[in-house]
């Protein structure tokens, strides 16, 4: 069953591009933007990550952490972060364990062919560790701004 507003957010523990393990349970008392994206250095994922980077200052002012999660291996994630000067953590979920907990590893279809892939999704987790807002099948244009507006409303 997919996560819904008010659900306790599953704990994540993933390594990032700087070799640091990112654990959501270490963010007690802080809100979190957790966005799942399909593939590093592709047009949509690049636009989305860069938009979050641009919003990072404002998100930080309201006490939010941002973590991007991809099913890619760490070397492409590291190159992606360096190439676009992304300063927030990008985590590798190669096993799709975290994606499974968040319901973002889903069956997709392209030209009638079915396959498993990462659904572009974002979760806003409140200071209490509960899901405050969910965006599924995200359209990149204007998304970071919508997340910032929702996060600002959290207080």
* 45 noted as active-site residue: yes
Catalytic residue among 9, 45, 49, 131: 45
Residue showing tokens 């899901």: 131
How far, in Å, CA of 96 to CA of 94, rounded?
Answer: 5
Burial (Cβ within 10 Å: 0-12, 13-18, ≥19) of residue 127: middle
DSSP 8-state assignment for residue 24 = G
In whole angstroms, give the CA distance from residue 102 to residue 87: 24
The distance between the two most distant Cα atoms of the chain, rounded to a whole number of Å, is 45
Strand runs (DSSP E) across the chain, as ranges? 13-15, 21-23, 31-36, 64-70, 90-92, 105-110, 113-118, 121-125, 131-135
Active site residues: 45
């Amino acid at each position: 069953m997919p996560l819904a507003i008010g659900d306790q957010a599953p704990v994540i523990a993933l390594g990032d591009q700087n070799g640091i393990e990112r654990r959501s349970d270490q963010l007690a008392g802080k809100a979190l933007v957790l966005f799942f994206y399909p593939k590093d250095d592709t047009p949509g994922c690049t636009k989305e990550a860069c938009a979050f980077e641009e919003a990072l200052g404002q998100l930080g002012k309201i006490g939010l952490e941002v973590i991007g999660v991809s099913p890619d291996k760490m070397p492409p994630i590291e190159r992606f972060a360096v190439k676009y000067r992304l300063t927030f953590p990008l985590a590798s979920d190669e096993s799709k364990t975290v994606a499974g907990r968040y319901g973002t590893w889903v069956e997709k279809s392209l030209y009638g062919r079915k396959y498993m892939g990462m659904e572009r999704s974002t979760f806003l987790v409140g200071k209490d560790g509960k899901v405050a807002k969910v965006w599924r099948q995200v359209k990149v244009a204007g998304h970071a701004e919508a997340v910032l507006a929702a996060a600002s409303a959290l207080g």
